[in-house]
Amino acid sequence: MIASLSLAGCDTRSDPTHSSKPVEDSSTFATDAPRYVETGDLSRLKARGYLRVLRPPHASFEHLPRQGFPDNTEDNLLETLAESHGLRLALVTVARHEDLIPALLEGRGDLIAANFTVTPQRKQRIAFSVPVAVVREQLITRQSDDTLSAPEDLQGRTIVIRRSSSFWETAMALRQRYPGIQVIHAPEHLDTEQILDRVARHEYDLTIADSNLFRAVLTYRSDLKVAFDLTEDRPVAWGIRPDNPDLLEAVNTFLTEAKLTAFRPRISHDDLPGIAKHGVLRVLTRNNPATYFLWRGELLGFEYELARHFAKSHHLQVEMIVPPSRDDLIPWLLEGKGDVIAASMTITPERMAQGVAFSRPYFQASEIVVTRASEPEARLQGPKDLAGRTVVVRRSSSYWQTLTALRNQGIAVTIEAAPEDLETEEIIAKVASGEYDLTVADSHLLDIELTWREDIRAAFPLGDPKPHGWVVRATNPKLLQAINAYFDKEYRGTFYNLTVKKYFKNPRTIRTHVKFRAKRTGQLSPYDDLVQKYARLYGFDWRLIVAQMYQESRFNPKARSWAGAVGLLQVLPRTAKGLGFPTIESIEDGIHAGVKYLNWVRDRFEPELPIKDRMWLALAAYNVGHGHVMDARRLARQLGLNPNRWFGHVERAMRLLSKRKYARHARHGYCRGSEPVKYVRQIKERYEAYVRLTEL
């Protein structure tokens, strides 16, 4: 539930010289919104039952959400945050942007969420959360204006911005360097989009906008453009009263997990050369025992192992992507959210007609009618016996097409659509329980189920075995050619045969995998409870710690490195002592020491860094030392890279520290940079897989 209210009445004066006034007690409140002054911490907010969010004029939760707009992103986060603490969300709007901080300090709201840039001046007055976003301030002009390419071109031009905005400080610094620039303050009740409208209409000359907002604006208008960036990356965060440490900690913990787990599919339609430049093959698949699953912290699956083997042959990393339902696979591929589908997909003309191409077959499976074990064999011996029965399958499956063909031949079978997010194994379970009458399954999927359950059986096949293929966009011929060459070489070869045997021919292995799959148990490691305990204590997502633990020790509590690091998180005894642990012989002390050390390392990096990058930098420092990471950041800046971004920037510089040319100028000298690069990437990939698979 979201309530709304307004502070400071309805002052809409647009005189640029009008000064701000304090928030008045006679503020107007919506009838369903809370009306009180409260400066207490989180416990007081819970007693009141509300989280009051301060917003500038015209802000509302009731607007048309546009993808990418900062307020839409913040709204989603705020609703989840409030719900997680059992609070109702109340939107509190102020009359002028400059009233946001006074209203917060006076207790008229509990938190500022307004695409609010962190500045030194603001930090002197209020506390800030970890970053919600990282932006650059950009000079905005009309699309037809080709006269601006650098700050010196601004002589004689006029920039119009609100005095209360962070842009004002930027513009003042610019005018000091170039006195010919005129800076005029816009009325405080105008938001950035309204100012942009006036620039487009030639009412204002130029303005400044945050990069995240303007990027979203460009999705619906083309009459404006960026002239150039005015700042480096700057954090946007939520403002909190300085004497509310519990609320600040709760917000930081929430944002850290939310940002780390916010996986947005990268959109790309590249063929193999473009994929090679990015270095990652994005594989669309499903989470089931035949394709891709998690077992005791390890990523497994027939399709996963084939995809990883293929990617490795082309020097690519593999990223497994599981869409919400099976009927999303081809649409996601066509939308550019993945490069290839590897999901035991039967080759059919109907699928090829959607604008995709199938690889050569790499597997064959029969479609088998599945019934309960208690059903007499004499009742189901062939397709004609399906008359009068109900078969439940996904509409997007090849089974639906097969059954439709039978019905068209005169067999009076009822075909019922199963939910698209149900896997074949889950539909089989509903047949076993009696909820569904019959279903159809590929023979290899049914074989897996029959190794561990005795309440179902195979009735009969529906025709000959059908070929499976990987799927690519029809516009990606080079990727298709590479996949076909791979299967030409590997099909029925040693690696292929061993992989088939591992997943489909070894009953003992299959039973073990099915029993301990994370989707069934929710368990990632034998130490989940302890990891969750200390991850909560230090504000980490426990799944990230488990991913790091697997990387460090493969869950072996007796692991010991050549350097003397011990335990599940490979902590050096002297490091543990420095953190207050005389010994780390017990599993719990070892886990606690490792998580505490990761927290100590993270705290050595600026809190204004993007949440994800601060985490990747901390992991790199855990592996190779803070000093080497700082050397890599300094080198990244010298090379024109971003020292605040790990992937594609600091990691590139890190690799160079193993070369004498660069190492001799580094404060901490030589570093085998490939090790932390590999360390961070593998933890990230495993962590993302853990998140996807445990949330299915």
User: In a 10 Å sphere around its CB, with 0-12 CB exposed, 13-18 middle and 19+ buried, how is residue 105 labelled?
Assistant: middle
Pick from 46, 48, 45, 9: nearest CA to 29:
9
Pick from 538, 547, 491, 580: nearest CA to 693:
547
CATH number at residue 557: 1.10.530.10
- Is the pLDDT assigned to residue 75 strictly greater than 80? yes
Q: How much of the chain exceeds pLDDT 90, in percent?
A: 68
Query: Tokens 């096949």 label which residue?
Result: 461
CATH number at residue 156: 3.40.190.10
Please answer whether residues 270 and 159 qualify as being in contact, where contact means their C-beta atoms are separated by less than 8 angstroms: no
**333 and 477: one domain?**
yes
- Is the pLDDT assigned to residue 542 strictly greater than 80? yes
Please answer whether residues 695 and 687 qualify as being in contact, where contact means their C-beta atoms are separated by less than 8 angstroms: no
Task: Please check whether residue 245 lies inside any domain of the structure.
Answer: yes
- Is the pLDDT assigned to residue 297 strictly greater than 80? no
Q: Within 10 A of 450 (CB to CB), how many other CB atoms are there?
A: 17
- Is the pLDDT assigned to residue 531 strictly greater than 80? yes
Indicate which residues carry an active-site annotation: 552
**6 and 33: one domain?**
yes
**332 and 249: one domain?**
no
Q: What is the pLDDT of residue 457?
A: 95
Structure tokens given for 226: 């960026």
Average pLDDT value over all residues in the chain: 88
Q: Within 10 A of 615 (CB to CB), how many other CB atoms are there?
A: 25
375-388 per-position pLDDT tens digit:
999 899 999 999 99
Structure tokens given for 683: 């933890």
Band (514; pLDDT cuts 50, 70, 90): low
Band (61; pLDDT cuts 50, 70, 90): very low
* Count of domains forming the chain: 6
Task: Please check whether residue 400 lies inside any domain of the structure.
Answer: yes
**631 and 677: one domain?**
yes
Q: What is the pLDDT of residue 510?
A: 58
Among 546, 572, 603, identify where a domain stops. 603
- Is the pLDDT assigned to residue 427 strictly greater than 50? yes
Give the least confident one: 1-5, 91-95, 208-212, 587-591.
Answer: 1-5
**533 and 651: one domain?**
no
β-bridge partners, 473: 356
- Is the pLDDT assigned to residue 10 strictly greater than 50? no
User: In a 10 Å sphere around its CB, with 0-12 CB exposed, 13-18 middle and 19+ buried, how is residue 166 labelled?
Assistant: buried
Determine the Cα–Cα distance for residues 468 and 620; give it in Å rounded to an integer: 41
630-668 per-position pLDDT tens digit:
999 999 999 999 999 999 999 999 999 999 899 888 888
For the beta sheet containing 471-473, the strands, ordered from the edge strand earlier in sequence to the opposite edge, are 317-321, 280-284, 340-341, 471-473, 356-358
590-626 per-position pLDDT tens digit:
999 999 999 999 999 998 899 999 999 999 999 999 9
Please answer whether residues 50 and 34 qualify as being in contact, where contact means their C-beta atoms are separated by less than 8 angstroms: yes
Task: Please check whether residue 265 lies inside any domain of the structure.
Answer: no
Band (60; pLDDT cuts 50, 70, 90): very low
**314 and 402: one domain?**
no
Helix and strand totals (H; E) in the chain? 28, 26
Q: Report which secondary-structure segment, H or E, holds 427.
A: helix 424-433
Q: What is the pLDDT of residue 607?
A: 87
- Is the pLDDT assigned to residue 508 strictly greater than 70? no
Please answer whether residues 217 and 193 qualify as being in contact, where contact means their C-beta atoms are separated by less than 8 angstroms: yes
Task: Please check whether residue 405 lies inside any domain of the structure.
Answer: yes
**14 and 70: one domain?**
yes
User: In a 10 Å sphere around its CB, with 0-12 CB exposed, 13-18 middle and 19+ buried, how is residue 661 labelled?
Assistant: exposed
486-504 per-position pLDDT tens digit:
999 999 899 999 999 888 8
Sorted by sequence, the CB contacts under 8 Å of residue 149 that are 6+ apart come out as 227, 228
**147 and 168: one domain?**
yes
Sorted by sequence, the CB contacts under 8 Å of residue 641 that are 6+ apart come out as 648, 649, 650, 652, 653
- Is the pLDDT assigned to residue 260 strictly greater than 90? no
Task: Please check whether residue 266 lies inside any domain of the structure.
Answer: no
- Is the pLDDT assigned to residue 19 strictly greater than 60? no
DSSP helix/strand/coil, 152: helix
Determine the Cα–Cα distance for residues 356 and 348; give it in Å rounded to an integer: 11
Q: What is the pLDDT of residue 357?
A: 98
Determine the Cα–Cα distance for residues 271 and 480; give it in Å rounded to an integer: 9
**92 and 163: one domain?**
no
Task: Please check whether residue 541 lies inside any domain of the structure.
Answer: yes
393-406 per-position pLDDT tens digit:
999 999 999 999 99
Please answer whether residues 401 and 492 qualify as being in contact, where contact means their C-beta atoms are separated by less than 8 angstroms: no
Task: Please check whether residue 486 lies inside any domain of the structure.
Answer: yes
Q: Within 10 A of 63 (CB to CB), how many other CB atoms are there?
A: 12
Among 578, 603, 628, identify where a domain stops. 603
Structure tokens given for 155: 């002589």
Please answer whether residues 184 and 16 qualify as being in contact, where contact means their C-beta atoms are separated by less than 8 angstroms: yes
Q: What is the pLDDT of residue 451?
A: 80
Task: Please check whether residue 288 lies inside any domain of the structure.
Answer: yes
**575 and 676: one domain?**
no
Q: pTM (2 decimals)?
A: 0.65
**141 and 204: one domain?**
yes
Determine the Cα–Cα distance for residues 677 and 693; give it in Å rounded to an integer: 24
- Is the pLDDT assigned to residue 555 strictly greater than 70? yes
- Structural domain containing residue 381: 367-463
User: 367-378 burial by CB neighbour count: b if 16+ within 10 A, else e?
Assistant: bbbbbbeeeeee
Q: Within 10 A of 658 (CB to CB), how many other CB atoms are there?
A: 14
Please answer whether residues 692 and 293 qualify as being in contact, where contact means their C-beta atoms are separated by less than 8 angstroms: no
674-683 per-position pLDDT tens digit:
999 999 999 9
- Is the pLDDT assigned to residue 97 strictly greater than 80? yes
Among 570, 603, 636, identify where a domain stops. 603
Determine the Cα–Cα distance for residues 162 and 158; give it in Å rounded to an integer: 13
- Is the pLDDT assigned to residue 113 strictly greater than 50? yes
Q: Within 10 A of 152 (CB to CB), how many other CB atoms are there?
A: 11
DSSP annotation string for 156-205: T-EEEEETTSHHHHHHHHHHHH-TT-EEEEEPTT--HHHHHHHHHTTSSS
**116 and 8: one domain?**
yes
Q: How much of the chain exceeds pLDDT 70, in percent?
A: 90
Please answer whether residues 69 and 247 qualify as being in contact, where contact means their C-beta atoms are separated by less than 8 angstroms: no
Determine the Cα–Cα distance for residues 468 and 362; give it in Å rounded to an integer: 6
Please answer whether residues 688 and 645 qualify as being in contact, where contact means their C-beta atoms are separated by less than 8 angstroms: no
Nearest 5°: phi and psi at 140? -115, 135
Sorted by sequence, the CB contacts under 8 Å of residue 178 that are 6+ apart come out as 151, 152, 154, 155
Region class of 355: left (phi > 0), else alpha (psi between -120 and 50), else beta = left
β strands within 19-103, DSSP E: 50-55, 88-93
